[in-house]
Chain A
Amino acid sequence: MAKLLDKQRYKCALGAMQTVQAIDRALPILHSGPGCAQKLSESTGSSGYFSPNIFPCTSINEKDVVFGGVKKLNSTIENALKVIDADLYVVLTGCIPEIVGDDSGEVVSRFEDAEKPVVYAPTAGFKGNNYKGHEQVVDAIVDQYLKKTDKKQKGLINIWADVPYQDLFWLGNLRQLEKLIAELGLIPNTIFGYKRGIENINKIPEAEFNLLVSPWVGLSNVKKMEKKFGTPYLHYPNLPIGATETSKLLREVGKFAGVPEEKVEGVIKEHEDYYYYLISRYADLFLENRVINKQFTVVADAQYSLAVTKFLVNDLGLIPAKQFVVDDTPKNHRDRITEEFKKLNFGIEAEVSFETDGYKIHEEIKNHDYHGYPLVLGGYYEKEITENLKGNFLNISWPVQDKVVFDNFYAGYEGGIRLIEDIYTVAVSRFN
C-alpha cells in the first residue's frame, strides 16, 4: 500500500540501470518515460564508458500509452545495436509499459540471434525498490544469458555484495573482498567494475561456489544459481569492516573452500598485526578526545547498518543506541537480520528498527539519551539533526552530499582503518 515516504533512502526498481552501468560495457536500454534515467542517476562516478544520457530510451509519450510502445521498443533495440558499442544490452522496463501491458519480453526475444546478447528485466517502479531491481538484473543475466556447464574451475569463487552506486563504496569494497579471497589462494570472480564485464559473467557457471556477502540482497540470486547451475553458496550475512569480522569471514570461507587452516591463520595474522600496529598508534586519539562518545546510531541500509554496528561495537568498543535499517528490507529477511544485530561481543544486543519513515527516525534520535554527543552515521538527512544535537555526523549512506568517493572502501581490515579515519576526521574538526 502507498505510504508516507518521508526522507527516502532508495530509488525504484528501474534504479537497477545503475547495476547494469556497473558492469563494464553493459548498456541499459530503457523502455520508460524520457526522464527516468536522469532522475535515477547522480554524479557519483557516472560518466564512464556509458553515462545515463547515453542510455537508449523509448521515451514513451501519450500516444504510446494509448496504442502501446512495442514498435518503438523494437526500433530502439535494433538501432541501439547499430549505434552503440556494448557487450551486453539489458532492456529495463519502467512503469508505463507494464501498466499498459506491452509484451516487452516478446520484443526482446526477437533479438535472440543478434550479434550481441540482449536480455530483459522487468523493473517497473511500482514492483519494488532498486535493491529488488538489482536482483532482477542479476536474475535476468542468469536466466536468459548464462547456461549450465560441466566445466568447473578449481578454486573459482563468485563474489556478490550489495548494490552498485546505491552503495557509495561498491567498487572499493568489491576489490577488497577479491583481494582477501585471493590471499587464501582462491580465484575471485566479480562482474562489477573495471575490466570485469562479460568475460567474468561468462565464468559465473564455472565457479566452485558463490560467496554472498550481504544481509539479504542477492540471496535469491545465489539460490537461483544453485538450482540452475548446481553451484553451492556460502551466505556471509555481514559486510566485514575491521579485524573481528574480516577474520571471521576468512575463516568461514577457508572452511567452506577447504583451505588449510594454517594458511588461513597466516593470512589473518599478517593483517591483524598491521591493523593493530595502526590502531595502537592512534589509541590515544580514541581515548583522549572530548567529542566521540560511546553511543552511536547508524541510519543506513541493512548492509551498512549491520556492518558498522558490528565494527564499532566489536572492534572499537562503542555501545549501540537504536539502529535503523532503511532499505525496506523484505519482511521474510527481517527476523534473521534482527538476530544478527544481537550477536555482538560481551552479550551486547543492538536494538534495530526497520523504518522507512525518516521523520520517525529523527524523532527517535532526538529522544534518545546518548549520554553526551551523539555519533550518527547515516544519510545526508541526518546531518542537520545531528548538528542540532551537537553531535558528530558522517555521511555513509544514500543520499550522499558530504563525500566524494572514487574507489575508497570500508570493507576488510584496511576498510576498517578508512572508516576510523573518516570518523576521527570529523572529530578533530572540533575541540569539545
Chain B
Amino acid sequence: MPINLSNSNVATRENRIGSITGYVGTLKDLATQSECGTLKGCSRCFSQSSTCLSSCALGQLCGIRDVALIHHGPAGCSVAAAGAYYMSKVMSKKRGVTSDTIYVGTDMNENDTIFGSTNALRNVILEVNKRYSPKAIFVSSSCATGIIGEDIDSIVDEVRDEVGVPIVAVHCEGFKSRIWATGFDISDHAVLQSIVQPPREGVKTNKINFKNFFESARPEIIEMFKNFDLDPVFLYCNSTVEELSHISESLATTCICGTLGNYLGNALEEKYGVPYVRSINQCGIVGFETWLREIGKVTGRSEPIEKYIEEQRAIYLPQIEEVKKQLEGKTAVLGMGPGYTFEVSRVLNELGIKVVWALAWHYDKKYENGDIPPSMKYLLDNDIDFEASVADQQNFEVMNILHKYQPDMYLSRHPGSTVWAIKNGTPAIYVADEYMIFGYKHTLEFAKTILDAINNRSFEENLAKRTKLPYTDWWYQQNVDKFLEETK
C-alpha cells in the first residue's frame, strides 16, 4: 500500500492491512485464512480494557532527544507526560547524554469541548517553543479533540514559520483503532513527514537503521556490527532530530519487532530506496542466523557474517543443547503482540518446549508489502501448529485458557499480564526487554531463565494458595470464544 506523506492521517491497521483483534482457532487455520483472504476478525460484546494507540505513538516520539510533545486533550490523555519525563531522564543518563524532551498537555475542560480551543493550543505551542527551544514539535490530538473536530493541522500550518523547527500534527484518537500498534505507524508517519530528509548527494555511509524500543543491547550490537563494518543507528530512544533527518541515507533498515518496524521500514524503502530487511526476527538460533544472513545479503556483507555465525555457534550451541535437555517436553502458553508471539513460539519449539496455546494481541493478515508476516510463514513451512487466538490483552480469555491447560509456564511481554498467571499458580516469564532472546547469548540466558522460573515455584504457589481469582466459576466453564461475535 503506498505511503502518503502529504497527509498527516495514517489509515489504521484494520483498514490498511486487514488486522484483527478477535479470533479463536489454530495457527494453521489463521494463516490459511489470511493467505486466501477469507479471514474476518470478530468483535466482542464483552471486553476488558487494553491499551491506547496514543501510548505507542507518543511513547515512541518522546524517546527522541530534545523535542516537544503537545498532547491536546483532557489531563488524562497527557498523563503519560510523567512517565515520559522519567524515561527521558533515565534513558539519556544511561547512554551518557542529556535530553530535554518535554511532554505537555492542554488540560482541556468542558467549555473547550463546546467552544473549541484552537486559540489556546496555538498559544501553548508558541510558549513551549519559547521555553524549551525544542528541535522538533509534535502536536497530538485526543479522542475529545477528534470528536469535536479541532483542526490541529491548520494550527500547525499557521505556526510553522514562527516556530522555525519541524512541527507536525499527530492524530492519536484512541477510538480509531483497537490495535495500539497503529500508534507505532502514527509515530513513524510523523517522523517521516516532518523530520526525515531525502538523502544528501554523494554521502557514503555504513549506517544501518535499527528500530527498537529501549536499546538495552545497544553496546553489544555496536560491537557485533563492527565485525561487518556496519554502524547501527538506534531508533527512536535517544535519537536526535539531526540523526533522524538522515536515516534515508542508510544502507538498510532492520528492526527488533515486525509490528514496531514495519511501517518505517517499508516507507523508507518505498520513498528512498533504503532496503528493509524482511526476515523472521532475531529471537533464537534460527531467527538470529536468518536475520544476520538477510542483512548480509541486503548490504553485501555475507562473508564476514558467515564467519561470525560459525564462531558464535561453536561457543553457544553446545551450551544451549545442554539446557534444552531439561526443558524438553515442558508446555507453555504465551500472550504477546504478534511481532513476538509467533517468533517466541518458534524459539520455544527450538528449545523443545511445546506451545499449547498462543495468544496474539492482534494479528496482521499481511504486512505493508502484501506478504504474510515472516514469522507465521516460518511456522507453517515447518509444520508447526498449535491452538491460537487473537485477543487484545483480554485477561479473562487468558485466564480461561491457563485454567484449562495448566501449562508449565506462561510467557508474556505486557505489563499487568504475568501476575495473573502467577495467581493461577502458573510460573510466568516476563519477556519485557526486547533483547531478552536476542541472538545466541540471550537465547541461552532465556533458556536458563525459564529453567530458573519453573524450578522454583515457591512464589507462585505461596500466592496462588492465598489468592481468590476474580472470575466466576461460570466463566471458567465457558468456551474461550463465548463473547466473540461476527463483525457486522
Of all chain B residues, the one with the shortest Cβ separation from A12 is: B76
A151 contacts partner chain B, Cβ-Cβ < 8 Å: no
Of all chain B residues, the one with the shortest Cβ separation from A328 is: B107
In the complex the two chains form, is A72's CB within 8 Å of B45's CB? yes
In the complex the two chains form, is A58's CB within 8 Å of B47's CB? yes
- With A5-B78, A5-B107, A8-B75 in contact, do A57 and B47 touch (Cβ < 8 Å)? yes
Q: Out of A1, A8, A14, A61, which one reaches B82, CB within 8 Å?
A: A8
Nearest-neighbour CB distance to chain B for A74, whole angstroms, equals: 9
B113 contacts partner chain A, Cβ-Cβ < 8 Å: yes
B439 contacts partner chain A, Cβ-Cβ < 8 Å: no
Nearest-neighbour CB distance to chain B for A316, whole angstroms, equals: 29
B55 contacts partner chain A, Cβ-Cβ < 8 Å: yes
Of all chain A residues, the one with the shortest Cβ separation from B43 is: A61
A381 contacts partner chain B, Cβ-Cβ < 8 Å: yes
Of all chain B residues, the one with the shortest Cβ separation from A50 is: B470
Q: Which residues of A contact B147 (CB under 8 A)?
A: 65, 95-96, 99-100
A76 contacts partner chain B, Cβ-Cβ < 8 Å: yes
In the complex the two chains form, is B113's CB within 8 Å of A99's CB? yes
- With A36-B49, A79-B46 in contact, do A399 and B470 touch (Cβ < 8 Å)? no
- With A8-B105, A12-B74, A38-B51 in contact, do A126 and B112 touch (Cβ < 8 Å)? yes
Of all chain B residues, the one with the shortest Cβ separation from A56 is: B48
A136 contacts partner chain B, Cβ-Cβ < 8 Å: no
Of all chain B residues, the one with the shortest Cβ separation from A74 is: B45
Q: Out of B52, B74, B86, B177, which one reaches A380, CB within 8 Å?
A: B86
B121-165 contacts to A, CB under 8 A, are: 121, 123-124, 127-128, 131, 142-144, 147-148
In the complex the two chains form, is A4's CB within 8 Å of B128's CB? yes
B426 contacts partner chain A, Cβ-Cβ < 8 Å: no
In the complex the two chains form, is B45's CB within 8 Å of A5's CB? no
In the complex the two chains form, is A126's CB within 8 Å of B144's CB? yes
In the complex the two chains form, is A129's CB within 8 Å of B75's CB? yes
- With A2-B120, A3-B107, A15-B76 in contact, do A30 and B49 touch (Cβ < 8 Å)? yes
Complex CA–CA separation, A86 to B471 (angstroms): 9
In the complex the two chains form, is B109's CB within 8 Å of A2's CB? yes
In the complex the two chains form, is B78's CB within 8 Å of A8's CB? yes
Nearest-neighbour CB distance to chain B for A231, whole angstroms, equals: 31
In the complex the two chains form, is A55's CB within 8 Å of B52's CB? no
Complex CA–CA separation, A1 to B117 (angstroms): 7
In the complex the two chains form, is B176's CB within 8 Å of A79's CB? no
A60 contacts partner chain B, Cβ-Cβ < 8 Å: yes
| Binary per-residue interface labels of chain A (58-76) against chain B in the complex, 1 for a CB within 8 Å, 0 otherwise | 1111101100000010011
Nearest-neighbour CB distance to chain A for B11, whole angstroms, equals: 12
In the complex the two chains form, is A3's CB within 8 Å of B395's CB? no
A422 contacts partner chain B, Cβ-Cβ < 8 Å: no
- With A1-B120, A2-B112, A3-B107 in contact, do A82 and B77 touch (Cβ < 8 Å)? no
Q: Which candidate, A39-47, A157-165, A234-242, A266-274, is the interface stretch facing chain B?
A: A39-47
- With A4-B128, A33-B143 in contact, do A59 and B49 touch (Cβ < 8 Å)? yes
Of all chain B residues, the one with the shortest Cβ separation from A398 is: B82
- With A34-B174, A96-B147, A398-B82 in contact, do A57 and B76 touch (Cβ < 8 Å)? no
In the complex the two chains form, is B180's CB within 8 Å of A35's CB? yes
Q: Which residues of A contact B120 (CB under 8 A)?
A: 1-3
B85-107 contacts to A, CB under 8 A, are: 85-86, 89, 102, 104-107
| Binary per-residue interface labels of chain A (1-33) against chain B in the complex, 1 for a CB within 8 Å, 0 otherwise | 111111110111111000000000001001011
Q: Which residues of A contact B175 (CB under 8 A)?
A: 33-34, 60-62, 64-65, 96
In the complex the two chains form, is A34's CB within 8 Å of B106's CB? no
In the complex the two chains form, is A52's CB within 8 Å of B49's CB? yes
B25-65 contacts to A, CB under 8 A, are: 45-55
In the complex the two chains form, is B143's CB within 8 Å of A96's CB? yes
Complex CA–CA separation, A40 to B77 (angstroms): 9
Q: Which residues of A contact B49 (CB under 8 A)?
A: 30, 32, 34-38, 52-53, 55-57, 59
Q: Which residues of B contact A94 (CB under 8 A)?
A: 76, 143
In the complex the two chains form, is A2's CB within 8 Å of B143's CB? no
Q: Out of B50, B53, B104, which one reaches A5, CB within 8 Å?
A: B104
In the complex the two chains form, is A56's CB within 8 Å of B109's CB? no
A106 contacts partner chain B, Cβ-Cβ < 8 Å: no
In the complex the two chains form, is B79's CB within 8 Å of A83's CB? no
Q: Out of B77, B121, B396, B415, which one reaches A12, CB within 8 Å?
A: B77
B73 contacts partner chain A, Cβ-Cβ < 8 Å: yes
B468 contacts partner chain A, Cβ-Cβ < 8 Å: yes
Complex CA–CA separation, A242 to B175 (angstroms): 48
Nearest-neighbour CB distance to chain B for A52, whole angstroms, equals: 6
Nearest-neighbour CB distance to chain B for A300, whole angstroms, equals: 14
- With A5-B78, A38-B55 in contact, do A54 and B50 touch (Cβ < 8 Å)? no
Complex CA–CA separation, A384 to B83 (angstroms): 15
A176 contacts partner chain B, Cβ-Cβ < 8 Å: no
Complex CA–CA separation, A86 to B47 (angstroms): 16
A85 contacts partner chain B, Cβ-Cβ < 8 Å: yes
Of all chain A residues, the one with the shortest Cβ separation from B47 is: A59
In the complex the two chains form, is B111's CB within 8 Å of A53's CB? no
B195 contacts partner chain A, Cβ-Cβ < 8 Å: no
Complex CA–CA separation, A328 to B82 (angstroms): 17
A-B CB contacts (within 8 Å), total count = 240
Nearest-neighbour CB distance to chain B for A395, whole angstroms, equals: 11
Q: Which residues of A contact B180 (CB under 8 A)?
A: 34-35
Q: Which residues of A contact B113 (CB under 8 A)?
A: 95, 99, 126
Nearest-neighbour CB distance to chain A for B394, whole angstroms, equals: 9
Q: Which residues of A contact B48 (CB under 8 A)?
A: 53-57
In the complex the two chains form, is B109's CB within 8 Å of A83's CB? no
Complex CA–CA separation, A50 to B75 (angstroms): 24
In the complex the two chains form, is A53's CB within 8 Å of B417's CB? yes
A51 contacts partner chain B, Cβ-Cβ < 8 Å: yes
B201 contacts partner chain A, Cβ-Cβ < 8 Å: no
Complex CA–CA separation, A80 to B55 (angstroms): 26
A127 contacts partner chain B, Cβ-Cβ < 8 Å: yes
Nearest-neighbour CB distance to chain A for B477, whole angstroms, equals: 11
Nearest-neighbour CB distance to chain A for B177, whole angstroms, equals: 8
Of all chain B residues, the one with the shortest Cβ separation from A80 is: B46
Of all chain B residues, the one with the shortest Cβ separation from A126 is: B74
Complex CA–CA separation, A401 to B111 (angstroms): 34
Q: Which residues of A contact B420 (CB under 8 A)?
A: 51, 53
- With A10-B75, A53-B49, A83-B475 in contact, do A4 and B104 touch (Cβ < 8 Å)? yes
Complex CA–CA separation, A65 to B144 (angstroms): 11
In the complex the two chains form, is B50's CB within 8 Å of A34's CB? yes
Complex CA–CA separation, A178 to B478 (angstroms): 43
Q: Which residues of B contact A39 (CB under 8 A)?
A: 52, 55, 76-77, 79-80
Nearest-neighbour CB distance to chain A for B182, whole angstroms, equals: 11
Complex CA–CA separation, A70 to B437 (angstroms): 44
| Binary per-residue interface labels of chain A (86-102) against chain B in the complex, 1 for a CB within 8 Å, 0 otherwise | 10000000111001100
Q: Which residues of A contact B107 (CB under 8 A)?
A: 2-3, 5, 8, 328, 356
Complex CA–CA separation, A56 to B396 (angstroms): 10
In the complex the two chains form, is B106's CB within 8 Å of A5's CB? yes
Which of B106, B109, B174, B392 has the largest number of chain A CB atoms within 10 A? Answer: B174
Complex CA–CA separation, A144 to B128 (angstroms): 44
A194 contacts partner chain B, Cβ-Cβ < 8 Å: no
Q: Out of B76, B106, B417, B474, which one reaches A40, CB within 8 Å?
A: B76
B110 contacts partner chain A, Cβ-Cβ < 8 Å: yes
9 contacts between A and B (CB under 8 A): A4-B123, A12-B79, A13-B76, A15-B76, A39-B55, A53-B417, A84-B471, A94-B76, A381-B82
Interface of B toward A, CB cutoff 8 Å: 45-55, 72-83, 85-86, 89, 102, 104-113, 117, 120-121, 123-124, 127-128, 131, 142-144, 147-148, 174-178, 180, 392-393, 395-396, 415-417, 419-420, 468, 470-472, 474-475, 483
Given pairs A3-B107, A76-B45, A381-B82, 20 additional interface contacts (CB within 8 A): A1-B112, A2-B112, A15-B76, A33-B143, A34-B52, A34-B175, A34-B392, A35-B174, A40-B76, A53-B395, A55-B49, A56-B49, A61-B176, A61-B178, A62-B175, A75-B45, A75-B46, A82-B474, A84-B475, A128-B109
Closest 5 CB pairs of A and B: A35-B52, A12-B76, A125-B74, A37-B49, A33-B174
